[in-house]
Amino acid sequence: MQGKENERRIDDPGAKSLKVENGILDSAQLFAEGNEVKIRHEGQLYSLRLTKNRKLILNK
């Protein structure tokens, strides 16, 4: 997921919907298109990466 061309707002009709049950989001949904997602939190950008050993790493 790089650049503005891959950016979609949650309210965008073309955006994929994420299914959340009881506050739980399955990681397979996050990593359906690759092994890294970017998360913006309080103005800071974080990277959540899925390793080849299927572990999660969160970096600022």
SS3 of the chain: the string is CCCHHHCCCCCCCCCCCCCEECCEECHHHHCCCCCEEEEEECCEEEEEEECCCCCEEEEC
State the residue range of the domain holding 24. Answer: 19-59
Assign residue 24 the CATH number of its domain: 2.10.70.10
pLDDT computed for residue 9 by the predictor: 60
The answer to the question of residue 33 being in a domain is: yes
Quote the pLDDT of residue 4.
54
pLDDT number for residue 46:
97
Q: Is 11 within a domain?
A: no
pLDDT in the model for residue 16: 72
State the amino acid at position 18 in one-letter form: L
The structural domain count of the chain equals: 1
Q: What's residue 2's pLDDT?
A: 46
* Cβ(30)–Cβ(40) below 8 Å: no
- Rounded Cα distance between 39 and 60, Å, is 9
> Does residue 48 contact residue 57 with C-beta atoms inside 8 Å?
yes
For residue 45, is it within any domain? yes
38 is a domain residue: yes
Q: What pLDDT was estimated at residue 26?
A: 92
Mean pLDDT of residues grouped by 10 in the chain (60 residues)? 54 73 90 93 96 97
This prediction's pTM = 0.70
